[in-house]
Amino acid sequence: MPVFFLTCVFWPNMALAQGRHTEVVIEHTGTAFIKTDVLIRDLDVLSGGVESADAANLMNRIVANDLRLSGLFLVGFSEENPDSLKYEFTIEGTVEGPLRDAAQTGENAPVTISLNLLSYPQRQLLMNKRYRPLPSQMRATAHHFANEVIHWLSGEPGICLTRVVFSRGSGGRRDLYVVDYDGEGLLRLTANRELNLCPDWSPDGKEIAFTSYRDGEQALFSLNTTNGKVRRVIAREGLNLGASWHPGGEELLLALSHGGNPEIYRITPQGKIIKRLTVSKAIEISPSWAPGGRDLVFTSDRTGTPQLYIIDSDGAGRRRLTFEGRYNDSAVWSPSGDQIVYATRSGNYTQIVVMKSTGEDRRVLTGRRWGNSEDPSWAPDGRHIVFASDRSGVFKLYVYDVVEDTFRQLTFGNDPDITPAWSH
Amino acid sequence: MNRGWITRNAMLIAGLVLLVALISLAGCGSKSDVETDPAAGTGVGEETEELPVETVPEVVEPVVEEGPDYLNLNPSDYGVEDVFFAFDQYDLDDESMGILSHNARIIKEAGVTILVSGHGDERGTVEYNLALGEKRARAVRDYLVSLGVTVGQLKITSYGESKPFAMGSNEDAWAKNRRAHFERP
């Protein structure tokens, strides 16, 4: 994300900084939770006319939306406080117009934005950030500031600069697209008139591994997110499916079937097989690393129905994880490692289920009104899950908040969207 | 009769020309080379039937009349039939085996490379459906090979639920979409 930061001034008040985790109370008791209320004032436009005013409005709107989407905050815009919020913090700032010099004029001139986080009502300055974004960098700048606020107030890294890659299309053609976590900035990544499926981000976000038929037969490819170039990683006969990057980035898990049967393998990012991890006559697919990169969860139908299993990175220590349901697949470990989300089929419908990684506390997230819900993927905050559901008649992406038990729609339009993956 | 002698001679020459044509055809590795031949052959063949007997040496029987143009037809055009599978299954049933015996004879005669693609219905996950399609395609290839089809003649792939034959969310559409399909590679 190319954002140009002129200056990043950070003045932590040491006393407040040390105590900041206790100031904000974020409690989750299962049914009740407390949010922090933040007042966001209109930014003062010091100069620059309409360009600065537009920038001020955009910053305001995006920061407010980011704080709401984090699930940690309630946001008000007025001191009069019609919603009776108990403000604890204020965000305010200034926008100065484009510098009119010979090199940078008109559309491409950056504005100067200064944003402050203050205590309320004492108005003690907690954080200041200054940016000089071009118009094309405005959204990323707002997301960056929102991340800083979330981190300062909660101690957790924000997800405001994360993105979701997914597969869109029908009729034997599906292309990869990427969208910002808030549903903005939709971008098409492939255009080859074939199937492009099951993308997964490398830990550093620089590559997206995906399964494609772009050369005719199914193979695993990797797309460079900086320059858009695609390289072939591995192309064995049959399946080259379901890549899962190791948290360290130095290898991937993949299902290959060139030996006659779909099995789980570890491969290098260059496509060299490191080790075969499973041996059976059953289907073994959908591998996903645990966050530590020592264990992995995958699907095997060796008992006659697809069920989840855990093994270590040598293929040893196999244990069965699911005993409920006759069809469980698409498991993904939560970033903190304590939970696993997966898809289960009940009758003709597929539903999303979350449970502890020990297999306990199984909880169905999507009931019958959600139609088919498939392909879950965790946000790096461990609180949000993106998945595909056909509740509207066509598969679209939705984001679920595990803490609040709420949903929002992420993608729109008539083409089916499937196999999403949240960036790290 | 003189006419009968000329006809026999014409057939002999036509046979020789056909043999040469077949040999050159067999030598053509690439698809693009072959694609232009049938049209040209047909044109010459139709024209020569109208010509007087003196020009007999130029008679070329069109290749297409000797049998199907396997390289340019879809397998279904020359009698190869798709096979279907039960819900979540990749085993062949008696009916499928019967169809595949029939297919094996045709495929051996055709001698061309064929792609067997595995498909699943829309229910369930993308990845498991791709795996089911893969197992279905492999089951079909393995059985055809056991019936004497050359393994190199059969390529396999799986499209899972991504290339459905029938639209709709009902038993009828689902049954039509759980199949192994034969196509030109």
**Same domain for B79 and B35:** no
A217–B157 CB contact, under 8 Å: yes
Query: Is pLDDT at B6 greater than 50 in this prediction?
Result: no
Task: Give the model's confidence band at A24: pLDDT under 50 very low, under 70 low, under 90 confident, else very high.
Answer: very low
**Same domain for B92 and B48:** no
Kindly give the residue spans of alpha helices, DSSP state H, lying in chain B: 2-27, 31-35, 37-48, 94-110, 126-146, 171-177
- Which one of B10, B35, B67 terminates a domain? B67
- Which of A241, A302, A303 should we substitute to test contact with B (largest number of B Cβ atoms within 10 Å)? A241
Query: Is pLDDT at A45 greater than 80 in this prediction?
Result: yes
pLDDT (average), residues B13-41: 45
For A285-299, A406-420, B41-55, B77-91, which range has the lowest pLDDT when averaged over its residues?
A: B41-55
Query: Is pLDDT at A202 greater than 80 in this prediction?
Result: yes
Task: Give the model's confidence band at A7: pLDDT under 50 very low, under 70 low, under 90 confident, else very high.
Answer: very low
B42 vs A189, higher pLDDT: A189
ipTM of the complex: 0.89
pLDDT (average), residues B57-86: 81
Strand B114-119: give its sheet, edge to edge: B83-84, B179-183, B114-119, B154-160
d(CA A375, CA A416): 13
**Same domain for B38 and B15:** yes
For A75-79, A190-194, B31-35, B65-69, which range has the lowest pLDDT when averaged over its residues?
A: B31-35
Residue listed under structure tokens 């797309």: A223
Query: Is pLDDT at A255 greater than 80 in this prediction?
Result: yes
Question: What pLDDT is attached to residue B2?
Answer: 45
Give CA angle at A271 (A268, A277), nearest 5°.
60
**Same domain for B128 and B39:** no
Q: How many domains does chain B have?
A: 2
Q: Are A133 and A111 in contact (CB under 8 A)?
A: yes
Task: Give the model's confidence band at B57: pLDDT under 50 very low, under 70 low, under 90 confident, else very high.
Answer: low
What pLDDT digit, counting tens, does each position of B141-180 carry? 999 999 999 999 999 999 999 999 999 999 999 999 999 9
B162–A197 CB contact, under 8 Å: yes
**Same domain for B88 and B17:** no
Amino acid identity for residue A92 in this structure:
E
Query: Is pLDDT at B107 greater than 80 in this prediction?
Result: yes
Closest CA to A62 of A125, A143, A123: A143
CB burial readout B92-107, b (16+ within 10 A) else e: beeebeebbeebbebb
Superfamily of A14-101+108-154 according to CATH: TolB, N-terminal domain (3.40.50.10070)
Between the CA of residue A81 and those of A40, A280, A387, what are the distances in Å? Answer: 11, 64, 36
Residue listed under structure tokens 């019936």: B147
Q: State the residue range of the domain holding B12.
A: 2-67
Question: Phi-psi bin for A257: left (phi > 0), alpha (psi -120 to 50), beta?
Answer: alpha
CB contact residues (below 8 A), chain B span 90-109, against chain A: none
Q: What mean pLDDT, rounded, does chain A reach?
A: 90
Between the CA of residue B84 and those of B100, B157, B175, what are the distances in Å? Answer: 11, 16, 7
Between the CA of residue A78 and those of A39, A63, A84, A126, A171, what are the distances in Å? Answer: 7, 15, 10, 20, 50
Query: Is pLDDT at B8 greater than 70 in this prediction?
Result: no
What pLDDT digit, counting tens, does each position of A113-140 carry? 999 999 999 999 999 999 999 999 999 9
Between the CA of residue A124 and those of A36, A78, A89, A115, A337, what are the distances in Å? Answer: 17, 19, 9, 14, 38
β-strand partners of A118: A90, A125
**Same domain for B114 and B173:** yes
Its sign, for the CA torsion A35, A37, A42, A44, is negative
Burial degree of B119 (CB within 10 A; 0-12, 13-18, 19+):
buried
For A19-33, A74-88, A181-195, A333-347, which range has the lowest pLDDT when averaged over its residues?
A: A19-33
Record the tokens describing residue B151, joined without a space.
């393994």
- CATH topology for A163-422? Neuraminidase (2.120.10)
Measured N-to-C along each axis, helices B94-110 and B126-146 cross at an angle, to the nearest 10 degrees, of 60
Query: Is pLDDT at A2 greater than 60 in this prediction?
Result: no
CB burial readout A229-267, b (16+ within 10 A) else e: ebeebbbbbbbbbbbbbbbeeebbbbbbbbeebbbbbbb
**Same domain for B50 and B97:** no
d(CA A347, CA A196): 28
Q: Which residues of A touch B (CB under 8 A)?
A: 171-172, 174, 195, 197-198, 213, 216-218, 237-239, 241-242, 255, 257, 260-262, 283, 285-286, 299, 301, 306, 327, 329-330, 343, 345, 348, 350, 372, 374-375, 418-419
- Which one of B41, B67, B93 terminates a domain? B67
B163 touches chain A (CB under 8 A): yes
Q: Are A339 and A353 in contact (CB under 8 A)?
A: no
Q: Which residues of B touch A350 (CB under 8 A)?
A: 123-125
Residue listed under structure tokens 């009916």: B95
Record the tokens describing residue B74, joined without a space.
């879809």
Maximum distance among all alpha carbons in chain B? 73
B119 touches chain A (CB under 8 A): no
Record the tokens describing residue A423, joined without a space.
């960036």
Closest CA to A382 of A154, A219, A187: A154
Phi, psi of A408 (to 5 degrees): -140, 150
Q: Are B158 and A238 in contact (CB under 8 A)?
A: yes
d(CA A421, CA A163): 8
A285–B128 CB contact, under 8 Å: yes
- Which one of B20, B46, B67 terminates a domain? B67
**Same domain for B138 and B81:** yes
In Å, how far is A176's CA from the nearest CA of chain B?
14
Question: What pLDDT is attached to residue B68?
Answer: 85
**Same domain for B53 and B79:** no
Check which CATH number belongs to the domain holding B109 and give it: 3.30.1330.60
Peptide bond into A121 cis (omega under 30): yes
Question: What pLDDT is attached to residue B46?
Answer: 43
d(CA A385, CA A365): 10
CB burial readout B138-168, b (16+ within 10 A) else e: bbbbebbeeeebeeebbbbbbbbbbbbeeee
Residue listed under structure tokens 């040491």: A14
Record the tokens describing residue B147, joined without a space.
């019936």
For A159-163, B11-15, B43-47, which range has the lowest pLDDT when averaged over its residues?
A: B43-47
Burial degree of B126 (CB within 10 A; 0-12, 13-18, 19+):
buried
d(CA A74, CA A39): 9
Amino acid identity for residue A71 in this structure:
G
Question: What pLDDT is attached to residue A106?
Answer: 56
- What does the domain layout of chain A look like in residue ranges? 14-101+108-154, 163-422
Three-state SS for A237-254 is: CCCEEEEEECCCCCCEEE
A174–B134 CB contact, under 8 Å: no
